[in-house]
A and B are shown apart, each in its own frame.
Chain A
Amino acid sequence: MSLSPVEGVALAEIESSADAGGPAVKGVVGRSPGQLAWLRLRRDRTAMVSGVLLIFFMVLGLAAPLIEMVYGIGPREQFQNLLDGFGMPLGYAGGVTGEHWFGLEPGLGRDIFIRLIYGLRTSLFIAFAAALITATIGVVLGALAGYLGGWLDAVINWITDLTLAMPFLIIALALTPTITLRFYGERGQVSSAFGVGVLIGVFAIFGWTSTARLVRGQVIALREREFVEAAKASGAGLGHMLFRQLLPNIWAPILVSFSLAVPQFITSEAALSFIGVGLSDETPSFGRMIYRSLDFLQTDPAYVFFPGITIFALVFAFNLFGDALRDALDPKSSR
C-alpha cells in the first residue's frame, strides 16, 4: 500500500489490506480499480508484445478474404501441376516459392498459406464464441449456486461433477455425427457453418464447469460481506445483487479465466478436427492439416511445421497475455 499524502485524509487511519483495490495510486483524479489494472498492463512489456501479436492474428483472421484477394489464391484451389507423380510438391521445403509462401499440400496440392489464414479465422471464431458462451453459462450458474446456496448449489455442483466425469473427446466424437445426422439425414451436404455451430455447442455443454466453480467460490467469499447486506437491506433483488453488487468484484478472475479459455478452445477445436470430428475437410483447420501431414512425415516433413508452429504461436501468445493480465489485475499474485 502506498501512503501518499492526500488532502483531508487523516493519515493515522490505517488502510485495510482487505480492500480489493490494490496499491492505490492516490491522486486528485479518482482512478477506478479497472483503470489501475490497465495502467499496470500497459507497463508490462510481455503483455504489450503478446497483445500486439494477438491483434495481428485477429486482423489476419478477420481479413482472410482480403488477403485471399491480394495473395491471389483461394483456399480450395488445387495446383496439381506443381506436384510430382507421387503427389509430392516439387521444389524445396514442400514447394515453398514466391507464389506459394508456405508450399503446397501433398496429394491435393492446395496452398498451405491461404489455408492457414482461413484456419486461423475458423479457429479464432470458434474459440471466442465458445469462450463467450461458456463464460456466460459459468458465471450465471456459478453465481446462482454461490449466492443462493442450499439445494440449488448442491444440484449445480453435482451437474458439474457429472460433466467433468464425461470423457469430453469421446462424447464429442460420438455426438457430433449423431447431431449432424439428425439435422441433415444420411445424404445431405453439411454446410461448414453448421459444423462450426455444432462444435461451439459441444464446447458450450462441456466447457462451462471451470468458470462456474471459480465464480461460485468467489461469490461465496463475497456474499457475507457487508456491502452485499447493505444492498439487501435496501430491498435489492436477485438480479441487482448478482450483476450490480457481486459481479463487478469478480470480473478480474473471470476475465483472466476467459483469456485462458480461448487458447484452450483453440487447442480443443484443433484436437477434435485432428481426430476427425467437427469440420469437414473442406473447411480449413489446423488440426485437420496436422492430421493429414502425419501421413507425409517422412516424405514431406515441412508440411507438419507450418500449421504446427502457427497454432503454437497463437496459443503461446494467448497464454502469455492471459498471464500478464492476471498479474495486472491481481498484483498480489504476481510472482
Chain B
Amino acid sequence: MTDQPLLRVRGLTKHFPVRQGLRSTGLVQAVDGLDFDVQPGETLGLVGESGCGKTTTGRMLVRLLEPTAGSIEFAGRDITHAGRRELRPLRQDLQIIFQDPYASLNPRHTVGRIVAMPLQVNGIKPPGGIKARVQELLELVGLNPEHYNRYPHEFSGGQRQRIGIARALALRPKLIVADEPVSALDVSIQAQVVNLLRDLQRDLGLAFVFIAHDLAVVRHFCQRVAVMYLGRIVEIGDRADIYERPQHPYTRALLSAIPDVTRLGPGGRIRLSGDVPTPLDPPSGCRFRTRCWKAQDICATQEPALVPRDGGNQATACHFPEAVGASLLAEGAPAGDAAGAIVEEVSP
C-alpha cells in the first residue's frame, strides 16, 4: 500500500431522526461506523442489498449529506464538516455520477450547459473556451460533440448516463463516486457504460467508489470490494478474495445468488430467510445474526469487529468466518457441505 490513501473514511455514521410531529421518535441508523480507504487510481466496489446504506454513504462522501459522526479525509484533508467554501477546491477532485439518468440531468438545460455547469460554477475557464472543452468531454464519453445544443429528452437512457459521466469528468476529478450508475439501464446498455467507465478509469487514472447491488458488474469493474449489510461493512477485501474466498456468510449468500450458467441446478444457492431487519432498531451484536444459519449466542451479545484474517487484505466482521480455502467456485453441485445442509433447513 502507498503512503497516503486518497480517501480515508473512519467511523462514518449517518443517523436520520424520525419525527412524528415535533417529537423525535427514533433514529434510522442508515450507516453505522464505516472504515475504509481508497488509494489513488483504485476502484472500490460498495455492494449490498437496497436499504443497506450504500447510497447514503456515497452521498456523504461527496458531502451531499452531513455525516452524524466519523471522519472523511480526502487527500489528507478532513472534509467531514467542511463548509461550501472550504470544499470548493476539493469539489474539483471529487465528483459523483448518479443512478437515475432521467432525474440527474436538468430537463431545461442543453447538454452543453449541463456538462459545462461544474466549470461555470467553479469559475474555470479552460484554454480554448468552455465549448471546446465540453465537446472534448462529449467525445471522450462516446457522444457526438455536435449534440451540444440538444436537450436531455432527446437522448436515450444510456446516452444520458454518458452525459452524466461527462459532467462528472469536467473538473478532471481524482475520485468519482458512482452511485449505481448502470442499474437504471437496460442490460445491453449496462455493459457499454461499464466498459466506458473502465476505459476512463484506466486512461485517466481515476479512483472510483462504485456503488452497486449487482455483484457481476462490480466484479467486472472493481479491484477491491466492500460488502455492506444494514449500515455496516461486513467484509472487505480484494476482488479475488471476496469472490473466490468469501469468509462472511452474508457475502457467500450474496454470491450464491448470482445466476451462473456454469452452475446448473439448485446446488449451492443459499436462500436467506426473512427480511432485512429495520434500521430503526437493528439487531444487537452482529446485525446479520437474525438471518444467519451460523448464528449462536455470542452473535447476539458481541458485535464482531471487522478484522483482517490471515494477515491479508481481506477483513471480515464475523465470529464464525468461513474456513479459508472453501472456495465457492470449487464447491460442486452436490450440496453435501455443512452450509448447504443448513440452507435446506432455513429456506422455506
Q: Which residues of A contact B (CB under 8 A)?
A: 6, 8-10, 12-16, 18-21, 24, 26, 30-33, 225-227, 229-237, 240, 244-245, 248-249
With A and B bound together, what is the CA distance between A35 and B149 in angstroms?
13
**Could you tell me the distance in whole angstroms from the C-beta of B81 to the nearest C-beta in chain A?**
16
Asked whether A10 lies within 8 Å of B154 as measured between CB atoms, the reply is: no
> How many angstroms from the CA of A26 to the CA of B153 in the assembled complex?
9
- Interface pair A230/B107, CB less than 8 Å apart: no
Q: Are B91 and A233 in contact (CB under 8 A)?
A: yes
Tell me the complex Cα distance, A225–B164, Å. Answer: 14
Say if the beta carbon of B105 comes within 8 Å of chain A. yes
A227 and B87 form a contact (CB under 8 A): no
What's the dominant secondary structure at chain A's contact region? loop
Q: Is the CB of B102 within 8 A of A16?
A: yes
A226 to chain B, nearest CB (A): 4
Chain B nearest Cβ from A207, distance in angstroms? 27
Known A9-B155, A13-B186, A234-B171; contact A33-B149, beta-carbon cutoff 8 A: no
**What are 8 residue pairs bridging A and B, where the CB atoms are less than 8 Å apart in the complex?**
A10-B189, A12-B188, A18-B103, A20-B107, A21-B153, A24-B153, A227-B107, A229-B98
- State in angstroms the CA–CA spacing of A14 and B186 once bound together: 9
A7 to chain B, nearest CB (A): 9
Q: Report chain B residues within 8 Å CB of A234.
A: 91, 95, 117-118, 121-122, 167, 171
Query: Does residue B212 face the partner (Cβ distance < 8 Å to A)?
Result: no
B73-100 with Cβ < 8 A to chain A: 84, 87-88, 91, 95-96, 98-100
Asked if A226 and B98 make an inter-chain contact with CB atoms under 8 angstroms apart, the answer reads: yes
Given contacts A13-B185, A19-B152, A234-B118, 20 further A-B contacts (CB under 8 A): A9-B159, A10-B158, A10-B186, A12-B186, A12-B188, A13-B158, A18-B103, A20-B108, A21-B107, A30-B149, A33-B108, A227-B104, A233-B63, A233-B95, A234-B95, A236-B121, A248-B109, A249-B106, A249-B107, A249-B108
**Which residues of the other chain, B, contact A10 by a CB distance below 8 angstroms?**
156, 158, 186, 188-189
A13 to B193, CA, bound (A): 14
- Closest A residue to B144 by beta carbon equals A8
Residues in B with CB closer than 8 Å to A14 are 157
Q: Which residues of A contact B109 (CB under 8 A)?
A: 248
Q: CB-CB < 8 A to B64: which residues of A?
A: 229, 232-233
Kindly list the 4 A-B residue pairs having the minimum CB-CB distance in the complex, ordered from nearest: A21-B153, A226-B104, A30-B150, A248-B108
Q: Is B134 an interface residue (CB 8 A)?
A: no
8 A Cβ contacts from B184-227 to A = 185-186, 188-189
Residue of B nearest to A24 (CB): B153
- Number of A-B residue pairs having CB atoms within 8 Å of each other in the complex: 113
Q: Which residues of A contact B63 (CB under 8 A)?
A: 233
Bound CA–CA A240/B84 (angstroms) = 13
CB distance A30 to B107 under 8 Å?
A: no
State A256–B107 Cα separation when bound (angstroms): 19
What is the distance, in angstroms, from B124's C-beta to the closest C-beta of chain A?
11
Residue among A6, A20, A227, A237 with the highest chain B CB neighbour number at 10 A? A227
Query: Closest chain A residue to B88 by CB distance?
Result: A235
Contact call A231/B99, Cβ cutoff below 8 A: no
- Given A12-B188, A235-B122 in contact, is the A230-B104 Cβ separation under 8 Å? yes
A226/B88 in contact, CB under 8 A:
no
Q: Does B151 contact A (CB under 8 A)?
A: yes
Is the beta-carbon distance between A227 and B84 smaller than 8 angstroms?
A: no
Q: In whole Å, how far is A253's beta carbon from the nearest beta carbon of chain B?
A: 13
| Residue ID in chain B nearest A230 by CB atoms | B104
Are B156 and A9 touching (Cβ within 8 A)?
Answer: yes
A230 touches B108 (CB 8 A): no
**B110 CB within 8 Å of chain A:** yes
> What A residues does B153 contact at CB under 8 A?
15, 19, 21, 24, 33
Instruction: Indicate if the CB atoms of B189 and A13 lie closer than 8 Å.
Output: yes
CB atoms of B151 and A33 under 8 A apart = yes
CB distance from B14 to the nearest CB of A (A): 15
Asked whether any CB of chain A lies closer than 8 Å to the CB of B62, the reply is: yes
Q: Are A248 and B106 in contact (CB under 8 A)?
A: yes
* A230 to B88 CA separation, bound complex (whole angstroms): 14
